[in-house]
Amino acid sequence: MVNSIHAPGPAARPIDANCLPYPPKTGVGGIPRILTALIDKLDAYLEDPADCLPSLNVANGKPRQQRRDRRVACVQLLRAHIKYLDLPSLRVGIPQGDGNFMSVTLRFLARQAGIGLRRAMRDLQSAGLVCSQPRCELDEAGQYRGLASLRQLPPALFGAFGLTKWLKHERSKAILRRYRAAAAAAKDGRREREAAQGALFLESMRHQLERGRKATPRSGHANAGHLDLTCSTDPQPDDRVRRRIGALKLQHPDWDREACYEHAYRELAPSARHTPFTTPPLA
């Protein structure tokens, strides 16, 4: 899995305090509305840094107010983090369909923010607005290779702008959606496997029946041309019946348990069509 992505374009665009050079998509298919609201509320820090985010205002370690250009750089970089914020985990990156998470590099975030100042990242970390955890991996040559750091935003950032309750509500909905999507994917995968197993089993039965009809019977037994399930090298009949029942249940959801068992046994044992049927015990 790719663990980082790099910035689009050859060079950073000029800093604009009113919007990002690559604004996030809003509305249907875009980022959640709470994130766009937080991006807009960061304008308040540009006007009154001491009242809005005092920890960021003193992050440079000097008693005077943070300079205007440095304020803009911090706000733009923080907006880039919010643009790629995953609400359930509050991590910065892109969730993958297989359940993994792809972190983004600082170079990518700086290009998204339209800045080239790494000291803005140091200010955000010193102010407690961004938590960063370095990562690395061991390559085939036995050397360590750096990966994109795992970054996370604290819930207190939303609370500083009066969005605590809204954040809890949106995170609960996002987590529930993710659980439902995972359950639906698992259910689809299980159905696909059962359908494939049933199709393979039917093809195997068809092949064996054809082979049985072509074989020349060596005795005068009436059922010599039928498939002998007990002498086959395939799995035991009970196991095959269970798999066939699973396929029948997918094809006929309205059938009850006894109907599925009877149909499966009649398919797997043609010679037993006139024998009394008894429902086997549950597996």
Number of domains the chain is built from? 2
Q: Is residue 23 part of a domain?
A: no
Residue 143: inside a domain: yes
Name the pLDDT band for 263 (thresholds 50, 70, 90): confident
Residue 197, amino acid: Q
Q: How far is CA 62 from CA 49, 67, 71, 123, in A?
A: 14, 11, 14, 12
215 part of a folded domain: no
Determine the pLDDT at residue 260. Answer: 76
**97 vs 185: CA distance, rounded Å:** 10
158 and 37, same domain (yes or no): yes
- Same-domain check for residues 55 and 139: yes
pLDDT exceeds cutoff 50 at 72: yes
Task: Give the residue-averaged pLDDT of 84-93.
Answer: 93
Rounded CA separation 254/127 (Å): 61
Check whether residue 195 and residue 139 sit in a common domain. no
Residues 146, 50 share a domain: yes
User: Beta strands 131-138 and 101-103: pairing type?
Assistant: unpaired
Residues 130 and 69 in one domain: yes
The pTM score is 0.63
pLDDT surpasses 90 at 254: no
Inside any domain, residue 26: no
4 vs 103, residue with greater confidence = 103
Q: What is the mean pLDDT of the chain?
A: 78
Tokens 């140091």: give the residue.
122
**Structure tokens of 88?**
């359930």
- Report CA Rg, the chain: 32
Give 117's pLDDT tier (boundaries 50, 70, 90).
low
Q: pLDDT by residue (tens digit) across 219-234?
A: 544 444 444 444 444 4
Same domain? For 195 and 151 the reply is: no
Q: What is the mean pLDDT of the segment spanning 169-188?
A: 89
Residues 111, 147 within the same domain: yes
> Is 179 inside any structural domain?
no
The answer to whether residues 204 and 250 belong to one domain is yes
31 strand-pairing partners: none
Domain-located, residue 131: yes
Q: Partners of 132 in the beta sheet?
A: 151
Strands 85-86 and 131-138: unpaired
Give the per-residue pLDDT at 239: 65
Q: How large is the average pLDDT for residues 190-195?
A: 86
DSSP assignment string, 252-272: -TT--HHHHHHHHHHHH-GGG
DSSP H helical ranges for the chain? 33-41, 43-47, 49-52, 54-57, 68-83, 106-113, 119-126, 155-159, 164-214, 237-251, 257-268
Regarding whether 148 and 191 lie in a shared domain, the answer is no
153-177 pLDDT, tens digit each: 999 999 999 999 999 999 999 999 8
For 70, the token pair is 């440095």
Q: How far is residue 71's CA from residue 125's CA, in Å, rounded to a whole number?
A: 14
Q: How confident is the model at residue 12 (pLDDT cuts 50, 70, 90)?
A: very low
Q: Looking at the structure, tell me whether residues 38 and 79 fall in a common domain.
A: yes
pLDDT at position 171 is 92
The verdict on 54 and 119 lying in the same domain is: yes
Considering the domain boundaries, does residue 55 fall inside one? Answer: yes
Structural domain harbouring 204: 186-210+226-272
**Does 138 share its domain with 205?**
no
| Owner of token pair 């000291």 | 119
Residue 83 lies in a domain: yes
Q: What is the per-residue pLDDT for 172?
A: 93
In angstroms, what CA-CA distances link 94 with 75, 99, 107, 111, 132?
A: 21, 11, 16, 16, 16
